[in-house]
Structures are given as structure tokens and as C-alpha cells.
């Protein structure tokens, strides 16, 4: 699924790296625990989180993620936006809660890590 599709489904606002919005995301992960993200995320993934600190960007960068979506209208700091720009990671924010955002993406065909399209 393209990041642009995720933006539309979640009615999200792009905060940086809009030039990468046509990149593909193969899976998604919803978590506020970066240790879980490090343990379970693979491939080109989207991270949905309500956690707002620079560790989110650093974790996404380590895992080669293509997009981070902050749920519940959370807004990253300027430092986080700058880190994301340097890494080329699309940052977005949505008013939706984690449960609803993950459900919308899953229903539209974006699977979690380790799942096979079928």
C-alpha cells in the first residue's frame, strides 16, 4: 500500500518528507513500546504510535521504516521532525485512535508483520 493511501484512509496530515508519499509500505505495526517494534518489525513498515519522543524516530530509522503516524493528534517536536527529514521518513498525524487507525489499515489490506496476504 502506498503511503498516500494511508494518508487518505487515516485522514492524516503530512508533517514532513511529503516527497516520499508514493513509497510502498508492506506492513504496519501499532505500538508505544519501541522494544516491541525492535523485536517484531521487518520489511518496509509503517509505525503507528502515540509516543512522542526522539527514540521513535531513531527506532524507525534502525528498522528501515518508511512512515510514522502519530495517533490521537499527537505532534512531534521540531527535533523529531528534523531527525525524520534527515532519515527520509514520512511523518504524519491523525485524529484517530490507535485501535481505529490500525483497524482501517488492516481492513484495507495492509497486514501486520509476519502475515501473508491471502
Which pLDDT tens digit goes with each residue over 8-67? 999 999 999 999 999 999 999 999 999 988 887 777 789 999 999 999 999 999 999 999
Tell me the C-alpha distance between 92 and 11, whole Å.
10
31 in Cβ contact with 101 (< 8 Å): no
Has residue 1 got a pLDDT over 60? yes
Residue spans of alpha helices (H) in the chain: 3-10, 34-40, 54-62, 78-87, 98-107
pLDDT for 118: 43
Mean pLDDT throughout 107-113? 85
Q: How crowded is residue 2: how many other Cβ atoms within 10 Å of its Cβ?
A: 12
pLDDT-derived band at 112 (thresholds 50, 70, 90) equals confident
pLDDT-derived band at 7 (thresholds 50, 70, 90) equals very high
pLDDT for 117: 44
Pairing relation of β-strands 90-93 and 13-16? antiparallel
Mean pLDDT throughout 87-100? 97
Tell me the C-alpha distance between 40 and 27, whole Å.
11
Domains of the chain (ranges plus CATH)? 3-107 (3.40.1390.20)
Return the bridge partners of 101, or none.
Answer: none
What is the model's pTM? 0.92
pLDDT for 113: 63
Has residue 114 got a pLDDT over 70? no
DSSP 61: H
Amino acid at each position: 500500500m502506498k503511503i498516500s493511501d494511508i494518508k487518505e484512509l487515516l485522514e492524516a496530515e503530512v508533517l514532513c518528507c511529503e516527497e516520499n508519499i508514493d513509497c510502498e509500505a508492506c506492513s504496519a505495526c501499532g505500538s508505544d513500546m519501541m522494544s516491541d517494534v525492535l523485536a517484531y518489525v521487518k520489511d518496509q513498515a509503517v509505525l503507528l504510535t502515540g509516543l512522542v519522543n526522539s527514540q521513535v524516530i531513531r527506532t524507525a530509522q534502525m528498522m528501515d521504516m518508511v512512515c510514522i503516524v502519530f495517533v490521537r493528534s499527537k505532534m512531534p517536536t521540531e527535533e523529531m521532525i528534523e531527525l525524520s527529514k534527515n532519515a527520509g521518513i514520512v511523518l504524519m498525524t491523525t485524529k484517530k485512535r490507535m485501535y481505529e487507525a490500525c483497524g482501517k489499515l488492516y481492513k484495507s489490506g495492509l497486514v501486520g508483520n509476519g502475515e501473508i496476504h491471502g
